Chain A
Amino acid sequence: MKPAPFAYHDPRTLDDLVGILGQVENAKLLAGGQSLMPMLNMRYVIPDHVVDLNRIPELSHLAESDGLIEIGATVRQAALERSALIAARCPVMQEALGCVGHFQTRNRGTIGGSLSHLDPAAELPGIAALYDATLHVAGPRGRRDVAFADWGLSYMTPNLAPDEALIGLSLTPWREPHGAAFLEFARRHGDFAIVGVACLVALDGAGCVQRAAISLVGVDVKPVRLRAAEVAIAGVAPSAEVLAEVAAMARRLDCLSDTHVSAAYRQRLAATLTRRALALALARAGGGHDV
């Protein structure tokens, strides 16, 4: 299981990167390598060129500006896990990161790699969906921003031309007090989720839901927002019945079926985990008494 030969490029600036992308064909971008390297070793992919993003300092920034959290594409999962900024503004991302592989893979794995690889069961795309993140793309034709809703085109296919690279993303943390939760069901710790659910929920002074966001991974080829449920529970006082209704909506999602897991099982998990994650987020928002 050794990679087929390839030409290796390790640009030092974003401009160099864009220049290389404009010149090479059949290239793969190497970020943390935690998904690409296995595919190279197993020759599932046989690129002519591997373009390494790891030596471009411009891609590794992590900062808050103008109410946005800006994250460079090569920020490592371990760095996000340890970040005080993420802990303060976006703790649900850290909860999800605890389920991403193992600490050794998080030491290399990057957020840009997760979003570009776009495994249907990966956790971080679910967080990007939860916050309606904006993704920043660069290529020979210049830069563009892509809303996360438009990011996934099909199975493991992001909205990226062959000569483009994801260079970072920005997300808007919720300012008002809220509760958040990420829950997933995987066979073993660190496995890709069969289904994962992320929730944000803010309550008003009366204890009713002010706004909510619910995203699921593993159910479809790309993360799914349960927008109908988010709308339905706005202004409603949380209760077991409300949770059951939301769970029922999750259960009606169209789900993937594969060799290992059926769509019906994914639907059951989607319902159970949505109910549990929302209940947890509500409790953390301070409104858990009635559920």
Chain B
Amino acid sequence: MGVRYIGAEVKRLEDPKLITGRGRYVDDIHLPAMLHAAFVRSSHAHAKIGDIDVAAAAAVPGVVAVLTAADFGPRMAAAMPQPYAAPVIKQSITQHPLAREEVCYVGETIAVVVAESRPVAEDAAALVAVDYAPLPVMAEFRKALDADAATAHAGASDNLMATLRAQFGDTEAIFASAPHVFRETLSQHRGGCHAMECRGVVASFDPGPDELTIWTSTQAPYLVRRLLAGYLGRDESTLRVAAPDVGGGFGPKAGFYAEEIVLALLAERLQRPVKWIEDRREHFYATTQQRDQFWDVEVAAASDGRILGLRGRCIHDNGAYVPYGVLLPATSLAAFPGPYALACLDIRIDAVFTNMVPNTPVRGAGRPNTAFVLERMADRVARELKIDRAEVRRRSFVRPDQFPYETGMKARDGSPISYDSGSYHACLDRVMAKIGTDFVARQQAARAEGRYLGLGIAAYVEDTGLAPFEGVSIRVLPSGDVVLRTGAASQGQGHATVLAQICAEGLGVRIERIKVEAADTGKFPLGIATVASRVAVTAGSSAQLAAERVRAKALKVAADMLEAAEQDLVIEDGIVHVAGVPEMKVTLGEIARRLAGAPGQPMPAGVEPDLAATAYFEARQTPFANGTNAAEVEVDIETGEVKILRYLVVHDCGRLLNPRLVDGQIVGGVVHGIGNALYERMVYDESGQPLTTNYGEYLLPLATEMPPIEVEHIETPSPLNPLGIKGAGEGGTIPAIATIISAVDDALAPLNVRIAEYPLSPERLLDLIDAAAKAG
């Protein structure tokens, strides 16, 4: 038996280059004769644009071109494609790569300057004069559907992008007969992506073979290839899209952006490579954001605290355009009913247009929003009925004996959604055990000293491993080294390591011999995207299948070469030998050479050339991860400061491929959620101007304020894939907001404060305390 890799804390293959400064991110790509682009962006949230005077900009020495949509003629006549068309989209409005007549958010691209250097491009961009005729602005999404609301698009009759609805059970009857019904309004606020690497694109065109290459900081190179090829009228075989090292993604890099089209067209037109690197200020108004939702919701509960049903309506801010179909609000809807076994549900989400940056998923997508709704309502039931919050959840969760559990929800194809497996009660009980039974005593002692301690808990279920597939090919080289290729892009998750672990164990080679190449359409034919915690499940399963196939082929050929029976052979450290007779051996490299062919030498009977295999594990059903988080906080009621003293995660993502990497995903995800709960506020004024466009104004979580985060795992393998995997990329973020808000709410319960919103600034917290005091 060789080295065991699956489940081991293997050090990452990615790290040696990254810790020595040898990573290669988009901005590290330098091509000969490369030009640099800077964009002229709308300074108005909503306006008609008239003349664009580029003369002064074009005259700046070093400027090569200053171009508007008109300059590209028919090549840029169309609006951007809708990547996820769906009948439910009432108005599928996408932006133009460069605006033609109307701009609908501050930051929308209007013109591009190309120059010999980025500073010169910026010098010139500042000289482009755009004639704006301001239009009424919709910058308050809650009012977007009001009768007198300004429309975010000049020609539109209203601001409704789509209405989504989910229903099951007899809601009317259950709410009419329920012993308790509580109603709440909940406000959730948008934040941004804020990967430490902003977006960026390098485009290079080779007119000889008519080949266009795009390096882009993306989570979805294959989506970019498909949409870009379509837009350019180019065959996919002449377009290569590659994601080099990517400095964080967190969702917004999964989309297709105007700059990718513009850079491609520039490279074709100027026949020189062109680079554009988003700067941090642009990131605030050029990269999609997420989480603005307003909920009006009712919960029905039995006298024992059991949650019976939920009904309500959400207004979901979609921002100015529809760059991502309805996938974001749909993830909010699909995240119901969470871990709860509900008798009924009736939820409607109205996604609306505003004149703000478009919204697409940010880590967790719509799930943290839904977890916030569910968990705030569970806490509300507990508080009203004076039942322990954990007990309300225990009585309401799907029970272990109910798996597989059909929730009542329907998938897009109409089939029932079923939770495959889970450990809802076990995770909750373990968290409560770790908190300890002394919390209430500590809380009371602190209150006696005028200190306000609070305990927050929140549970969640996450659909992971989104269909349909990520493929993996594994090829053994004549040297015995192994190349694993996949379309799945990585933004720091450590996919290369995990896939190599699976390959090493499945094939019987040392992990050091494996090289992983990913996210390059020139190297692997198909891919979907790194979203929705899906890569470990999809690509991981494919790696397992591909490794098994290569192994089977190697054994078959080795049996022939060693004149031994296949069943007597083992593979260890890249060597196939007869079990118990190590000197009867052949290396995988030798087998690879045999299968590489030589003139006049036939292949072994029944074996195709090449010691390689490609597999596409198809994710037909969804593995659901779950967990419960808890946090202890202390609130200073004089300053409004919230200190997080302790944060606990008990989490179940099925079989752990590399516990250290899973912990890294969870902890990072929790901190992202803490940012949403307490720090990150993307402020727009009533005219749609973003007011927080730097890191002095927009606050990201820092090391000093983050608590120690304890992570513990329960492993309930999914029956839906060969390794029993469930995704883990977003499980940290999904319950974190709800957990923190629950804790603050608990701390301030003696002051009759009830919290139904985030982010919570210290000032807002004091206002809530004041309001509660006034309400008496």
Binding site for B on A (CB under 8 A): 1-5, 38, 42-43, 185, 187-192, 259-262, 265, 268-269, 272-273
Contact = CB atoms under 8 A, between A and B. Distances in A.
B766 interface: yes
A260 B708 CA distance: 29
B123 A260 contact: no
Contact of A262 (B691, B696, B763): B763
Interface of B: 118-119, 122-123, 126, 279-281, 638-641, 679, 683, 685, 691, 694, 696-697, 699, 701-702, 704-705, 761-763, 766
Contact of A43 (B118, B126, B763): B126
A4 B123 contact: yes
A269 B119 contact: no
B61 to A, nearest CB: 11
Nearest to B126: A43
A185 B691 CA distance: 22
Nearest to B282: A1
B696 A1 contact: no
Q: Please classify the interface of chain A as helix (H, G, I), strand (E, B), loop, or mixed, using the class held by over half of its residues.
A: loop
Given A1-B281, A2-B118, A259 B699 contact: no
Given A260-B683, A268-B766, 18 more contacts: A1-B279, A4-B122, A4-B123, A4-B126, A5-B119, A42-B281, A43-B122, A187-B699, A187-B761, A188-B679, A190-B704, A191-B696, A261-B763, A265-B762, A265-B763, A268-B638, A272-B638, A273-B639
A240 to B, nearest CB: 13
Contact of A269 (B639, B679, B683): B639
Contacts of A192: 696
A266 to B, nearest CB: 9
Contacts of B763: 261-262, 265
Contacts of A42: 281, 694
Contact of B762 (A187, A189, A191, A259): A187
List the 6 shortest-distance A-B pairs measured between CB atoms, nearest first.
Answer: A189-B704, A2-B119, A265-B763, A1-B279, A272-B638, A188-B702
Given A188-B705, A189-B705, A272-B638, A260 B697 contact: yes
Name the residue among A2, A4, A42, A191 with the largest chain B CB count within 10 angstroms: A2
A265 B123 contact: no
14 contacts: A1-B280, A2-B119, A2-B122, A3-B119, A38-B694, A42-B281, A185-B641, A188-B701, A188-B704, A189-B704, A190-B704, A191-B696, A192-B696, A259-B691
B675 to A, nearest CB: 11
Contacts of A190: 702, 704
B766 A188 contact: no
Contacts of A4: 122-123, 126
Contacts of A268: 638-639, 766
Nearest to A44: B694
Contact of B683 (A38, A259, A262): A259
A209 B699 CA distance: 40
A185 B701 CA distance: 16
B584 to A, nearest CB: 61
A160 B705 CA distance: 38
Contacts of A191: 696, 699
A262 B683 CA distance: 15
A37 B72 CA distance: 37
B682 to A, nearest CB: 12
A261 B691 CA distance: 13
Nearest to B122: A2
Contact of A265 (B118, B126, B279, B766): B766
